[in-house]
Amino acid sequence: MQSLRQQIFRSMVAMTIICACLIVVAQVAFAYYAIIYRYMPKVAEMYGTAAIKYYQSPVLGHSFVDEMDYVTKLVNEFAEAPVITDAQGNILYAKNMNVMYVDLAFESRKIPVEVEKNKTIYIIPPDYSLNNYKYVKQVVYERTLACIGFGIIAVLLTSFLSNSLAKRIADPIQVLTANAPQMSTSDVQVSGLLHADAPDEVLKLATSLDQMRHEVRRQIELRRQMTADIAHELRTPMSVISAKIESLRDDVINPLPHHFQ
């Protein structure tokens, strides 16, 4: 069975840990969002621009692979090189692949680029793995470490604050619990035992308990007074009857018929 203080402490620490985990998950989700909607299109745009330039304004002595290698040096700062194929799926450029063909029908990441009239190539950016997007991976790594550090600090801070909050709430209730058995015999005001900074709800509860105790005592006193009044009202006629019975028994008075009416 847990005390109120333990329940508050554990609840707040659990909420802090959950929030820290949600922040980490949000960072990872943001990373994949950046990969899909920013870096993959950026990679395709850089290689597509270079491919169009190569086909429309070729440089003597430069092959298609040479042009793509130059772009790869720039792209390597934040991502791995893509795969470039022709319309039939034949590999035109692949930095880290030994295959010669890609089935474009099953490739959802392909981005078409029209380099010449009636000539289209397909750029297939690296997959969604963080290992293929160095900059995003580094950002996620740094932010995750920051979130972990923030989470540790937040847990420690929450532990301190929750303990203070739990103490502020639980201590007045413990005072009420400790003094509850003496409420019927003690004249001490329970509300007077609480600190002024106790929660308003607890102060109202203590005031209500004091009022209830006073009302119960008043009702008991009224009952005692009513019993005394009834006894007093009955005492006089009973005394008269008793006196007459004794007089009749001692022949002080003669019994007449009206004495028995």
Q: What is the pTM of this model?
A: 0.52
Residues 6+ apart with CB under 8 A from 91: 83, 84, 85, 97, 99, 100, 101, 102
Place of tokens 């745009």: 45
Q: What is the pLDDT along the chain (261 residues), one digit of tens a residue?
A: 456 667 777 777 788 788 878 887 888 888 888 888 888 888 888 888 888 888 888 777 778 888 888 888 888 877 888 888 988 888 888 876 677 888 888 888 888 988 888 889 999 888 877 777 777 778 778 877 887 887 788 778 877 877 777 777 777 777 777 766 666 666 666 656 666 666 677 777 777 777 777 777 788 888 888 888 787 777 777 777 777 777 766 666 666 566 555
Q: Is 230 exposed, middle or buried (0-12, 13-18, 19+ CB in 10 A)?
A: exposed
Domain regions of the chain by residue span: 4-135, 185-261
Measured CA to CA in angstroms, residue 85 lies from 21, 44, 117, 173, 254 at distances of: 41, 12, 17, 75, 142
Question: Is residue 90 within 8 Å of residue 101, measured between CB atoms?
Answer: yes
Residues 6+ apart with CB under 8 A from 235: none
List 121's β-bridge partners, or say none: 113
Question: Is residue 31 within 8 Å of residue 140, measured between CB atoms?
Answer: yes
